[in-house]
Copies of this chain bind each other. A is one copy, B any other.
Amino acid sequence: MENLQIHIKVSPETFLKDPNASDLGRKIVSASISLINELGFEAFTFKKLGINIGSPESSIYRYFESKHMLLIYLTYWYWSWVEYKLVFAITNIKSTKQRLEKAIIILTKTVEEDGLFSHINETLLDRVVMNEGVKSYHIKEIDEENEKGYFKVYKRVVKRVSDMILELNPKYKYPNMLVSTVVEGALMQRFFAEHLPALTNIEKGKCNVTKFYNELVFSVINLHDD
């Protein structure tokens, strides 16, 4: 990917002070990604993060209301980034089928490269979302948080891909369910591959998750190869 000066904008609702606008803010975000990876979300605390970056926890609280809101911020960033990759990947491609194939790759492949966006390690963030992402919405307060728009980019990503499916088969009844099944399912399968392999059919070095979901999507919308 080219080294463009693109900036991922995260909804101001998710933070108290824009972490992207200061050194400390960027340090908080980038260190939190590594630390959540290291400790898991439950054991991760602002106190430990503060020690990690050499700042008091009170300074972190000036940026994020709680560690939950930090997770919301990170997932919001992640899905905005996925959306960007999605739009970029399908530009100038005329065939809807090819566009959908590209979309499935983006939604299902493990992120390996990174470096486009200065302070965020996309590979590590991809792991955070895989391991802890569901905790951002599996909460009692989901309805209020949904109303505040915390999940709107995620929903937009699903809609973009659903629309491709409807273009290919306007009669298909469950495009949103299909796409959300693929999106969440892919993260889950990658998690299972590492920890509960009996629930998967992953082979070393092979992109089986992508293959599996690609086959799944095209077979259910009745578009086997040509």
Contact = CB atoms under 8 A, between A and B. Distances in A.
A42 B139 contact: yes
A200 B212 contact: no
Given A140-B42, A185-B185, A189-B181, A198 B220 contact: no
A138 B134 contact: yes
A134 to B, nearest CB: 5
A174 B139 contact: no
A159 interface: yes
A196 B151 contact: yes
Interface in A173-192: 173-181, 184-185, 188-189, 191-192
Q: What bracket does the count of chain A residues touching chain B fall in?
A: 35 or more
Given A131-B138, A180-B188, A184-B188, A143 B195 contact: yes
B188 A200 contact: no
A173 B155 contact: no
A200 B219 contact: no
Nearest to A143: B195
A158 B188 CA distance: 15
A43 interface: yes
Interface of A: 39-40, 42-43, 131-132, 134-135, 137-140, 142-143, 146, 151, 155, 158-159, 173-181, 184-185, 188-189, 191-192, 195-196, 198-202, 208-209, 211-212, 215-216, 219-220, 222
The 8 closest A-B pairs by CB, nearest first: A40-B140, A180-B199, A174-B212, A174-B201, A219-B220, A181-B185, A142-B195, A155-B198
15 contacts: A39-B140, A137-B195, A143-B195, A146-B196, A173-B201, A174-B201, A174-B208, A176-B199, A178-B212, A180-B189, A181-B185, A181-B188, A181-B216, A185-B185, A216-B216
